[in-house]
């Protein structure tokens, strides 16, 4: 199946996971036969790299982006400076 992020309520990201198994048990029924209590168990498999590796890669990308932005600003300064002389 599809991989989904596992994110804690406080925002902590644990990675990308695929659901491998799902089981449920219904107990404590109403008089109508509907379950009052439903318990489930979920089996997950992690499918991404560790978060430290993922953030390391993002750090490399950010560094490259900063270098590109600095070069673009330098080119603009040179162009504008040349027009004003």
User: What is the 3 state secondary structure string of the chain?
Assistant: CCCEEEECCCCCEEEEEEEEEEEEEEEEECCCCCEEEEEEEEEEEECCCCHHHHHHHHHHHHHHHHHHHHHHHHHHHHHHHHHHC
Higher pLDDT, 23 or 65: 23
Q: Quick one: pLDDT band at residue 2, thresholds 50, 70, 90? A: confident
d(CA 50, CA 62): 19
Write down the pLDDT at residue 51: 56
- For 17-52, what is each residue's pLDDT tens digit? 999 999 999 999 999 999 999 999 999 999 887 655
Q: Is the pLDDT of residue 53 over 70?
A: no
Q: Is the pLDDT of residue 57 over 70?
A: no
């Amino acid at each position: 199946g599809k991989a989904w992020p596992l994110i804690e309520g406080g925002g902590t990201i644990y990675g990308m996971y695929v659901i491998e198994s799902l089981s449920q048990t219904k107990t404590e029924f109403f008089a109508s036969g509907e379950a009052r209590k439903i318990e489930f168990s979920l089996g997950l498999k992690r499918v991404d790299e560790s978060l430290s590796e993922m953030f390391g890669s993002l750090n490399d990308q950010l560094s490259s982006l900063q270098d590109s932005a600095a070069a673009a600003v330098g080119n603009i300064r040179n162009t504008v400076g040349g027009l004003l002389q």
